[in-house]
Amino acid sequence: MKILWQVSFRPFGKSKINDDIQKKFVENIKKMKADITLSVTQFDDYGVKNFLNRSNIKFEYFNVPKKKLPNGSKYSNSIMLINSINYFISKDFDYFIFSNADVFISKNIVKILSRQMHTNYMGFIYPNTLIKNGKKHETFLPHYGIDFIAFKFTKKKVIHFLKLLNDYKQYDWGVIDNFYISVGDKLNLKFENLYKKIKLKKIENKFKDFKENRVWQVNSWNKNNFFFKKYLRKNNLSILYAYGSYYYLLYKFFRLKDMNSDLFFIYLRFYLFLPISLIKKIFKKP
């Protein structure tokens, strides 16, 4: 099975902990029994290509000068995707996978995907097991983030995916999960939440290591949500992808066959918070 795996790395030399996590991520990928090529788009990020050259792993490398991004931006998920999907189209891959470089998944994922029989398919893992500040976050508490998505699709579908990307802009943090689920919806892909088959562990980066904070996150999210709403309107997709946040995403990919007792309680607790969230939104100061 041939896999194109999109990932982007943080610059090396800023955080020893993050450097070690990224190295372990690549070692984890190398243990998988599949023909895997990393699709890596960086934005003048220090040390990444040298690291990959030493890692003995197949990769296709794209560098986009940071000066080509809007002023103050560090990276762009939409640019990463355009590079990856163009490369996917030019080669003979069975799967396209997106993940971050701070996640760990069992090599059994290859076996799970190889047994998947649908032609046009989108498998993902929600929720992840979040490690925050060195401690495991309570899985049953509502939290956000889809950090692993696997696509299998026909040439016609992947070309349509590329056309959708022409309408989509994204810079820095936020709204990428919403976009991926909307793509699956627009392309009529077979959704599967793989949570009951396999788990994903994510190590959250420390803000201070990369001069980021919650204010930066919120500003970034608001900017990307503005772009995202323009994309939704142009492609006749529900605006609830932008306004409903994860409440709408979880509704869109809910499938009884994917449920187990753990996921049932995660859904239950997530939606119990909905009235509180609505009240906060109604009375939020402009």
> Is the pTM for the entire model greater than 0.85?
yes
- At residue 57, the pLDDT reads 97
Residue 226 contacts residue 170 (beta carbons within 8 Å): no
Delineate the domains of the chain, giving CATH numbers in brackets: 2-282 (3.90.550.10)
Nearest to 190 by CA among 249, 124, 117, 121: 121
Task: Tell me the residue type at 197.
Answer: K
Cis check for the bond before 142: say yes or no (omega within 30 of 0). no
Mean pLDDT of 200-204: 88
pLDDT digits (tens, 9 = 90+) for 35-83: 999 999 999 999 999 999 999 999 999 999 999 999 999 999 999 999 9
Sign of the CA dihedral 224, 240, 146, 136?
A: positive
The backbone torsions φ and ψ at residue 105, rounded to the nearest 5 degrees and listed phi first, read -135, 145
Give percent above pLDDT 70 in the chain. Answer: 92
- At residue 286, the pLDDT reads 47
| Average per-residue pLDDT for the chain | 91
